Amino acid sequence: MAIAPPMPFTRRRRAARTEAMSLGDHLAELRRRVLLSGVALAVASTVAFLLYGHVLDFLLRPYCTSVGHHGPCVLYVTGPLDGLAIRVKVAAYGGLLLASPVLLWQFWRFIAPGLHAGERRYAASFVAASVTLFAGGAVVAYAIFPHTLAFLDAVGGPNLRQLYSPSSYLGLLILMMAAFGATFELPVLLVALQLAGLVTPRQLASWRRWSIVGLVTFAAVITPSSDPFSMLALAVPLIVLYELAILAGRLLLRARRTSA
């Protein structure tokens, strides 16, 4: 009868600590992580509040690009408190973006002790891939936003002149960045399904034609501005990511079989 080798000291200590933690300990650890996340978010939001001018200039750049030489690159407010409200909103969004690495790290530190070594390896890779893909989707949305604004301005005809308010402009920009970032998580979901054994790379490859139709339709529905340029800018990367998810699933499953 083979005797399993002794568990390394660090792993034994981590496992013992995880098993020994009571419900109160878990709640205390959760409270600590939430408190640290709250402090990081407050500090980051304060920094974004102080750097409001630079942040707003960055967010206005797509609008200024679409306007060009046809008019002033300004947004219009209709109430005396609108300026303060926009500054607070920009500080909140900017703080969330700046604090996101700390927030993700605190989340990881909370769940990591309860995972096995293999689960921790996959979880860390999935978190890194999710952050990268979400950022990539947000960058794509930001890059194409001038074309989106130009289309929305032209579709109304020459007798309409757009006067954007900060709430409507920033709301559409942030919504598009969030929508693109979330949909770019498609390969993470597909790879997770393949590793869980719910689908296989062969099945995903056989569904390719219908998946392309579904992804194009989904892009048309999910795009907030509903313009064809933004729809294609979302649909084409999704099709590419679908193919990459199939390839990644094959490689990971092959590596799992080899190491088994």
Span 237-249, average pLDDT: 92
pLDDT over 80 at 115, yes or no = no
pLDDT tens digits, 55-105:
888 888 988 888 775 667 888 888 888 888 899 988 988 888 888 888 878
Strands of the chain, DSSP E: none
- The pLDDT of residue 2 is 47
pLDDT over 70 at 119, yes or no = no
pLDDT over 80 at 22, yes or no = no
pLDDT over 90 at 194, yes or no = no
- The pLDDT of residue 46 is 94
The ranges assigned to domains in the chain are: 24-114, 117-254
CA angle 248, 252, 256 (to 5 degrees): 170
CA distance 44 to 51: 10
HSE value, Cβ hemisphere, 13 Å, CA-based, for 115? 14
Under the phi-then-psi rule, with left for phi > 0, alpha for psi from -120 to 50, and beta for the rest, what region is 197? left
pLDDT over 50 at 9, yes or no = no
- The pLDDT of residue 184 is 92
- The pLDDT of residue 10 is 47
pLDDT over 60 at 4, yes or no = no
pLDDT over 70 at 1, yes or no = no
Is residue 258 within 8 A of residue 175, CB to CB? The reply is no
Is residue 234 within 8 A of residue 180, CB to CB? The reply is yes
Stronger pLDDT, 201 or 159, i.e. the higher one: 201
Stronger pLDDT, 117 or 198, i.e. the higher one: 198
Chain position carrying tokens 């340029």:
229
pLDDT tens digits, 205-233:
999 999 999 999 988 888 876 778 888 88
pLDDT tens digits, 134-163:
899 999 999 999 888 888 888 777 777 777
Stronger pLDDT, 175 or 260, i.e. the higher one: 175
Confidence band, pLDDT 50/70/90 cuts, at residue 254: confident
- The pLDDT of residue 16 is 46
Region of poorest pLDDT, from 44-48, 104-108, 244-248: 104-108
Mean pLDDT, all residues of the chain: 82
CA distance 108 to 33: 10
CA distance 218 to 208: 15
Per-range mean pLDDT, top range of 19-23, 100-104, 123-127, 204-208: 204-208
